[in-house]
Amino acid sequence: MLAVASVARLHVGGLGLAVLLLAEARTGSLADGGLAVALLSVGVAVARVGQGRLVDRVGFAALPAIVVAHAGSAALVLAAPGAVLAPAVLLLGLTAPAITVVTQWLWARDVDVRSQPRVFGLDTALQNGAFVVGPLLAGVVAGAAGPRAAIAVLVALGCAGGVGLVLVAPAAPRSTTPTARGRLWPVVDVLVAIGGLGVIYGALGIGAAAVALEAGREDVVGVVTAALFAGGIVGDLVLAPRRPDVPVGRRLRARVPILLLATALIPVAPGVVGVGVAIALTGAVLANASVTLLLDLAARASARVRAEGFGWSGATLRLGNAAGAAAAGVLAEQVDARAALAVALAGAALATAVVFGRRVQPA
C-alpha cells in the first residue's frame, strides 16, 4: 500500500511545477503561472477537507469517481486557452485524489498505537520524497515533451495510484449502530500548529531559492530547495519516537523549542552551502514535529471525523505554506533573501506558542 501511495504522490509533488510551466507557456507571464499554482493549492486544500468527510462516511468507495473527475479536469486544463486556464486549474486541484488523507486514516484505524510512530514516520518520509522526485520528473518530462505532457504523465500517476489504493487497501468495517458525528474542536490547536509548520515550509522554499539567486548560484537553486525535504526524509526515518509510552504532548514540548532554534539560525548561516545545511537540519526537526502532531491528531480526534481531521491538517499545511511563501517573496524582493528566510521563524513561533499554551495530557 505504501508503494501504491508513493506512486500517486509523485503527482502531487510535481503537479505545481508542471502547471507553472504550462501557464507561463500559454500566457507568457510568470505572474500568471504563480496565480495558477496558487489556485491549484487552494483547490487541493479544499479537496482534502471534502474528501476527508467522504472517507469518514463511506471509506474510500468514492475514490474511483474522484479519479474519473480528476482525469476529466486534466483534459480541460490541457485544452483550455489562456483566458480560462485559471478556473480549469482550480478544478484540477478540487478533484485531486486525497491520497494522504486516505493513508493517514488507514494508519490511525488499523495500525497498533505502539507502531504508529514508525508507520506515520515512514509515510511522511515518502511524502517528502515525492516533493523531491516529483518536481524532477515534471522538469524532465516538460523539458523533453513540453508541460502538457508533464501534466498528462503526473495526472496518470495520480489516477493510477488512486485506483490502486482502492484495490490493495483493506475495506472499512461498516457499523450498523447509529453514532454521533463528533467534532473537530478538540484538535483545533493541532491544526493551528500544523499551519505554523506550513509557514516554515513556504518561507524556506522561497528563501532558499532567493539566497542562491542573490549569490549568483542559479545552478544550485534546486539543490538548496530540495535540502528541506531531503532533511525531512532523514528526520522521519531517524528521529521517529522510540518510546510510544511517552505522551505526545510531552514529545511536542521537547521538539518545538529545537525547531524554533533551528529556524532562528538559518538566516545567519554563512554562504549558500551553510544555508543549505541549516535548512536540511531544520527539515529533519520539522518533519519529526509534523509526524508528532499527526500522531496527536490521530489520538485525540473522534473516529467519526478523523479523516476530515487529516484533511484539515493537509489544508492548513498548504494554506500556511502559501502564507509563508507570499510573505517571503515580498521580503526577498523588498529587503533581501535573509529577511525572507526569517519568515520561517514566525511559523515556528506560532507552533511553539500553541504547544506550550495547552495543558499537557496526562500519561
Convert the pLDDT of each residue in 287-327 to its tens digit.
888 888 888 888 888 888 888 888 898 889 988 888 888 88
Cα dihedral 356/231/291/18 (nearest 10):
120
Cα 126 from chain centroid?
Answer: 11
Ramachandran angles phi, psi of 217, nearest 5°:
-110, 60
Question: Quick one: pLDDT band at residue 264, thresholds 50, 70, 90?
Answer: very high
Distance CA 19, CA 78 (A): 10
Q: What is the CATH number of domain 185-356?
A: 1.20.1250.20
Mean pLDDT of the chain: 83
**pTM metric for this prediction:** 0.79
Q: Do residues 97 and 162 touch, judged by C-beta distance below 8 A?
A: yes
Convert the pLDDT of each residue in 86-108 to its tens digit.
899 999 999 998 888 888 888 88
> Element (H or E) spanning 82, and its range?
none
Ramachandran angles phi, psi of 57, nearest 5°:
-90, -40
* DSSP character string of 195-220: HHHHHHHHHHHHHHHHHHHHTT-GGG
Say whether pLDDT at 183 is over 70: yes
Say whether pLDDT at 169 is over 80: no
DSSP single-letter state for residue 115: T
DSSP single-letter state for residue 172: P
**Residue ranges of the chain that CATH labels 1.20.1250.20:** 2-168, 185-356
Convert the pLDDT of each residue in 117-154 to its tens digit.
778 878 878 877 887 788 888 888 888 888 899 999 99
CATH classification for the domain delimited by 2-168, as one of 1.20.1250.20, 1.20.1270.10, 3.90.245.10, 1.20.1560.10: 1.20.1250.20
pLDDT score, position 182: 60
pLDDT score, position 179: 46
Convert the pLDDT of each residue in 2-58 to its tens digit.
777 777 788 888 888 888 888 878 877 756 776 787 788 888 888 888 888 888 888
